[in-house]
C-alpha cells in the first residue's frame, strides 16, 4: 500500500510498510522488528491518530471469537474484530454488550482505545466493559493485562502502550429494545434533559443549526415481541432518507452556502418518526454512509444545554456554514479508564460535524473554545487542537497513565506525531 486513508478520506499517510498479520505470533514478530509502529482497525477516527511514515499494522485479519466463558459471560475476541462481527458472535451465544454506539464498523480495539461510547446516563463507554486485554509490547512480548493500573491505562490508550491483540469483554444476556424516534421543540428538549436521561435507559438527540427542532431518540429494554419495519420502509428510511437524501442536501449546501438554513429546516421536516422493537444491537446501530469530519466534547452533564445554545450562537454570530447537526449523548462516570473523557463525572457528549469538502477548522476551533469554557475534554478519536500540556491538566490520573506507558514503551516505538502532540 502506497497511501492509507481514513474513513472520511481527509487524512492520509504513506507508511514505509503496511503489514497484515494473521496470527498473534506473526504480529509479535512484526512489532519486535519494526520501528515507528501504529496499528489501524477500521480507520474511523477523524484525526491523524494512526498516520505514520513508519510501519502501519492492520488488525483486519486478526478477528473472530477466541473464547467464551458461559459461567461468567466473558467473551474474548481478537482485536481486529469489527463490532458488527462481534454482535453476530454474541447473537449465536445468546449474549450482548450492555451498550453500543450507533456505528458498528469500528474494530473492537480501535473503539475501546479511543473511548468510543453510546448513550445512556447509567451506562459507561465501551471501555468500561473490558475486563482484560492482550497487548504486544515494543519488544514483541505478548502481555496479558487483567488488573491494576495497567488495565486502567490500557482500556483507553490511543495505541500508545502497544498493539492490542485480543480483548475480553463482560457481556449480558441478549435483550430487545424499543426504539422511538420523534421530533420535539429544541428548547423544550433542552429544558427537560435531566428528565429524559432519567426515565430512559438510552436518550440522545440531534439539533440542526437554523432550526428550532430536536430529533430525539429513546431506546429502552422491553419483553415485547419484535416489531420491525418492513424491508421497503427500512430501505427508504435508512438508505434513501438518512443517507442519500442527506448527502444530496449536504452537497447542495456545500455549493450554495446561503441555502443551508433552508436546507436544514427541510431535513428536520423530512425526519421520519418511528417506533420499533428489535434485538438490541439492531436498534443501536445505524447506517452511516455520508462522509464528514467531526469534533466531540465530553462535558459535565449539567453543561449540555448551555453548550448547545452557545455553539448555535457562535454559528449565527460568525456566520459559519454548518449543514450537519449537533449530536448530544449521555454516559455514566468512568473510573475504570485513566484517560476516559468521562472520568469521574456524569457526562454529556456534544459532537459537531462538518460535511466533507467544506472548510471545517474555524468552526471546530470555535466549538472547542465553547467546550473548554464548560470544562470539556475531547473525544480521543475526533478532531481537536489541544496538546499534552493542556490535556494533562484535565486528567487527574495522567501521571499514572504515563508511568504505565513508559513501562510498556520506553523508547517511543508507538509514538507518531499525533500521539506526541496529545500525550507528550
In the chain, CATH 3.30.43.10 covers: 4-58
In angstroms, the CA 112 to CA 127 distance is 5
pLDDT in tens, 73-84: 999 999 999 999
Q: How far apart are CA 195 and CA 214, in angstroms?
A: 15
What's the whole-number average pLDDT of the chain?
Answer: 95
Whole-structure pTM value:
0.95
Give span(s): CATH 3.40.462.10, the chain: 176-378
pLDDT of residue 237: 54
Say what the pLDDT of residue 273 is.
86
Q: What is the pLDDT of residue 240?
A: 44
Phi, psi of 408 (to 5 degrees): -80, -35
Q: What is the pLDDT averaged over residues 358-385?
A: 98
Least confident of 94-98, 231-235, 263-267, 411-415: 231-235
Q: Which CATH superfamily groups domain 176-378?
A: FAD-linked oxidases, C-terminal domain (3.40.462.10)
Nearest to 20 by CA among 130, 168, 163: 163
SS3 assignment for the chain = CCCEECCCCCCEECCCEEECCCCHHHHHHHHHHCCCEEEECCCCCCCCCCCCCCEEEECCCCCCEEEEECCCCEEEEECCCEHHHHHHHHHHHCEECCCCCCCCCCEHHHHHHCCCCCCECCCCCHHHHEEEEEEECCCCCEEEECCHHHHHHHCCCCCCCCEEEEEEEECEECCEEEEEEEEEEHHHHHHCHHHHHHHCCEEEEEECCCCCEEEEEEEEEECCCCECCCHHHHHHHHHHHHHHHHHHHHHHHHHCHHHHHHHHHHHHHHCCCEEEEEEHHHHHCCCCCCCEEEEEEEEEHHHHHHHHHHHHHHHHHHCCCCCCCEEEEEECCECCCCCCCCECCCEEEEEEEEECCCCCHHHHHHHHHHHHHCCCEECCCCCCCCCHHHHHHHCCCHHHHHHHHHHHCCCCCCCCHHHHHHHC
pLDDT surpassing 80 at residue 379? yes
User: What local confidence, expressed as pLDDT, does residue 188 receive?
Assistant: 98
- CA dihedral 290→213→301→284, nearest 10 degrees, is -40
Return the exposure string of 125-144: e unless at least 16 CB atoms fall within 10 Å of the residue's CB, then b: bbbbbbbbbbbbbbebebbe
The x, y and z cell numbers of residue 100, run together, are 453500543
* Opening angle at CA 278, ends 166 and 243, nearest 5: 80
Give per-residue pLDDT as tens, 211-222: 999 999 999 999
So what CATH class is 4-58? alpha beta
Q: How far apart are CA 197 and CA 191, in angstroms?
A: 12
Whether the predicted pLDDT of 256 surpasses 90: yes
Which band of pLDDT confidence, cut at 50, 70 and 90, is reported for residue 289? confident
Q: Where in the chain is the domain with CATH 3.30.465.10?
A: 65-173
pLDDT tens digits, one per residue of 220-255: 999 999 987 665 455 445 544 567 788 888 999 999
Is the torsion defined by CA of 97, 103, 109, 110 positive or negative? negative
The answer regarding whether domain 65-173 maps to CATH 3.40.50.300 reads: no
Amino acid at each position: 500500500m502506497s497511501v492509507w486513508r481514513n474513513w472520511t478520506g481527509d487524512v492520509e499517510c504513506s507508511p514505509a510498510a503496511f503489514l497484515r498479520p494473521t496470527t498473534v505470533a506473526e504480529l509479535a514478530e512484526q512489532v519486535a522488528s519494526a520501528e515507528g509502529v501504529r496499528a489501524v482497525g477500521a480507520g474511523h477516527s477523524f484525526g491523524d491518530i494512526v498516520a505514520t511514515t513508519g510501519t502501519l499494522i492492520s488488525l483486519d485479519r486478526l478477528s473472530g471469537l477466541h473464547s467464551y466463558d458461559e459461567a461468567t459471560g466473558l467473551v474474548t475476541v481478537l482485536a481486529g474484530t469489527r463490532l458488527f462481527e462481534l454482535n453476530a458472535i454474541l447473537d449465536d451465544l445468546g449474549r450482548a454488550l450492555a451498550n453500543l454506539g450507533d456505528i458498528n464498523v469500528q474494530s473492537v480495539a480501535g473503539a475501546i482505545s479511543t473511548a468510543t461510547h453510546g448513550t445512556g446516563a447509567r451506562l459507561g463507554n465501551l471501555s468500561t466493559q473490558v475486563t482484560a486485554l492482550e497487548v504486544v509490547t515494543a519488544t514483541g512480548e505478548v502481555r496479558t493485562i487483567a488488573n491494576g493500573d495497567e488495565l486502567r491505562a490500557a482500556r483507553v490508550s490511543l495505541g500508545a502502550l502497544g498493539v492490542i491483540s485480543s480483548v475480553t469483554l463482560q457481556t449480558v444476556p441478549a435483550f430487545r429494545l424499543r426504539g422511538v424516534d420523534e421530533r420535539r421543540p429544541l428548547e423544550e428538549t433542552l429544558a427537560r434533559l435531566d428528565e429524559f436521561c432519567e426515565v430512559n435507559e438510552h436518550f440522545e438527540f440531534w439539533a440542526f443549526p437554523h432550526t428550532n427542532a430536536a430529533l430525539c431518540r429513546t431506546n429502552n429494554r422491553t419483553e415485547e415481541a419484535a416489531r420491525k419495519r418492513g424491508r421497503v420502509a427500512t430501505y427508504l428510511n435508512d438508505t434513501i432518507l438518512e443517507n442519500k437524501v442527506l448527502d444530496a442536501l449536504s452537497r447542495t449546501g456545500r455549493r450554495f452556502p446561503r441555502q443551508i438554513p433552508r436546507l436544514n429546516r427541510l431535513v428536520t421536516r423530512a425526519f421520519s418518526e418511528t417506533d420499533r422493537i428489535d434485538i438490541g444491537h439492531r436498534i443501536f446501530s445505524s447506517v452511516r454512509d455520508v462522509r464528514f469530519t467531526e469534533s466531540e466534547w465530553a462535558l459535565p452533564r449539567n453543561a449540555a444545554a448551555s453548550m448547545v445554545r452557545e455553539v448555535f450562537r457562535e454559528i449565527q454570530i460568525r456566520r459559519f456554514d454548518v449543514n450537519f447537526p449537533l449530536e448530544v449523548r449521555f454516559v455514566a462516570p468512568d473510573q475504570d479508564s485513566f484517560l476516559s473523557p468521562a472520568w469521574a463525572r456524569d457526562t454529556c457528549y456534544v459532537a459537531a460535524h462538518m460535511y466533507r469538502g467544506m472548510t471545517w477548522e474555524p468552526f471546530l476551533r470555535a466549538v472547542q473554545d465553547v467546550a473548554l469554557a464548560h470544562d470539556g475534554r475531547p473525544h480521543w478519536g475526533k478532531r481537536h487542537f489541544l496538546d499534552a500540556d493542556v490535556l494533562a491538566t484535565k486528567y487527574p490520573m495522567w501521571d499514572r497513565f504515563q508511568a504505565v506507558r513508559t513501562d510498556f514503551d520506553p523508547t517511543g516505538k508507538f509514538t507518531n506525531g499525533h500521539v506526541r502532540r496529545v500525550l507528550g
